[in-house]
Structure 1
């Protein structure tokens, strides 16, 4: 029988600080973008499309990229499609897939929203930390990301129901 490796007091303190800080940061970034009429999830989806080749991605690939369920991406896409910022089209390589494309109007929205988002990220994270702390945070999160990418025990799409 396996025994539990409990967190040491410092590990517990850092873990709880991470949980609280992560939640506070998400709330602050989402609140700032909501003043611009979008959510953080909306902006993340739009920005990933703006950086994709041809401003297009399969919805399944987009869901993996932004670590959201396919159904959540579908709901977000429908909301953004009503605004004229994205359009859904069938994938050319198979009839089952759907491609999400950023429209010119959507690109304009991303360009307008980017300044507000970057200012928010600076105010709530980058400027709160020293450059050393920010680099360490980035390196730590890269290690976490890479561990999930290479872990064969993790489902291929961690955000899909098992």
Structure 2
């Protein structure tokens, strides 16, 4: 549980960069390390009673957390019905560490964990306008399997797309 604050710091830092041009400033201003640390503390604490798993990637030299990922059984009934019984809930890697294989490794660890639960397919949601994340998932063989609007249905509604992997073993590192 000692990682909760460091995970929260990465979560907030990456969110503010990633979503700077995608979310309203007032939404970004609500992201706080303190609030996220409480959430991550609870998530980590609950992992022994649930099927949630949290993984961190650390710098070997100074043990600083460079990224993290979280997965579980699928929360979306619609995606579960399609055969995606695992969910990649979140994956965040600090910008200086992106492109170094950390994201790939975190996805492989989540796939390995979900497979240990006898789950064969998994999916994640990503904002349609988040080009970097979409390229990452596509490079890993993810395919768009669904789409949904977030919030009220207005012209400015945010759209999420779901990327799915029918076979989690395709994400495992060689």
TM-score interval w.r.t. the shorter chain? under 0.3
Q: Compare CA radii of gyration and give the structure with the larger one.
A: 1
Q: TM-score, normalised by structure 1?
A: 0.27
Give the number of the structure whose residues are more often strand, by fraction.
2
TM-score, normalising length: structure 2: 0.26
Structure ranking higher in helix proportion: 1
